[in-house]
Amino acid sequence: MARKPEKIEIMRILLVEDDPSVAASVIDGLVNASMEVDHVSTGKEAISKALSENFELILLDLGLPDMDGQDVCRTVREKSTTPIIILSARSEEIDRVLALEFGADDYMVKPFGMRELVARIRAVARRTGPADATPPTATQDIGPLSIDRRSQKVFVNGVDVYLTPKEFDLLAYLATDPGAVYRRNDIMSEVWDTNWYGTTKTVDAHVAALRKKLGNQEWIEAVRGVGFRLGVPDS
């Protein structure tokens, strides 16, 4: 009996790029990699499509004609967990840090190679997609802190705490072994991208945001020269 051909799942990508030549090149490369691409060239169109249609991932340029891509990223992230990869000619550290703080999952500087872009898309999709196996413990309680990995909700003393997807990923990672010290580079590798070689200052920025939202600086302790550990505050 002939073997039934394996079904290939096609990723649906939203490309936000105002340069027609760059957009055409990216679309060709992604289509050749068996991906379906919807293309828009303005921030307003990007927000509308991202929040009204289903995409597996968003590729977002920062230099858009009607608004800054950082604002698009922040607006989409407030209402959607769709992974976002920034594609930008801006190579300054502050641009990378801000994009990641606003909820981007990865950042690529133009010009870039299509093979690397496809690899990063697949890496982000694996990292943010549904897990093959159910986590050993869906809900984890650490003192008054409760982390529900299935629903990605966090509570402190029973009060719901809103976290961005990346803030949740960081907290969940530190909570894997409360009290253990995690190095900055390991955090970047596990929470952001195994291929990330940029600054680790974004880790500090996300830790600061988490401390503020959890209501106590002592939830996450900085270990000088090493990294961070999660623990129950004394106060």
**Predicted local confidence at residue 170, as pLDDT:** 92
Distance, in Å, from the CA atom of 111 to the CA atom of 89, rounded to the nearest integer, reads 7
Q: CA 11, 12, 15, 20: dihedral to nearest 10 degrees?
A: 90
CB of 16 within 8 A of CB of 72? yes
Q: Which amino acid is at 23?
A: A
**Predicted local confidence at residue 234, as pLDDT:** 82
Distance, in Å, from the CA atom of 50 to the CA atom of 30, rounded to the nearest integer, reads 18
DSSP 3-state assignment of 143? coil
Average the pLDDT over 81-93 and give the result: 89
CB of 50 within 8 A of CB of 58? yes
- For the cut 70, the answer to whether the pLDDT of residue 219 exceeds it is yes
Q: What is the DSSP string of 80-112?
A: ----EEEEES---HHHHHHHHHTT-SEEEESS-
**Could you tell me the pLDDT band of residue 129, with boundaries at 50, 70 and 90?**
low
- For the cut 60, the answer to whether the pLDDT of residue 212 exceeds it is yes
Comparing 61 with 6, which gets the higher pLDDT?
61
Q: Are strands 153-156 and 145-148 parallel, antiparallel or unpaired?
A: antiparallel
Q: Which amino acid is at 98?
A: L
Q: CA 156, 162, 164, 170: dihedral to nearest 10 degrees?
A: 0
**Stretch (H or E) spanning 60:** strand 57-61
Would you report the helix, strand and coil content of the chain in percent, each value rounded to 5? 40, 25, 35
**Predicted local confidence at residue 116, as pLDDT:** 86
pTM for this predicted structure: 0.57
Residue 46 is classified by DSSP as H
pLDDT tens-place string over residues 102-128:
889 888 888 888 888 988 888 888 777
Residues, the chain:
235
DSSP 3-state assignment of 131? coil
Residue 192 is classified by DSSP as I
**Could you tell me the pLDDT band of residue 93, with boundaries at 50, 70 and 90?**
confident
Ordered by where they begin, the domains of the chain are 12-128 (3.40.50.2300), 139-230 (1.10.10.10)
| Nearest CA among 95, 91, 96, 97 for reference residue 111 | 91
**Predicted local confidence at residue 196, as pLDDT:** 52
Considering only 1-5, 41-45, 47-51, 178-182, which range has the smallest mean pLDDT?
1-5
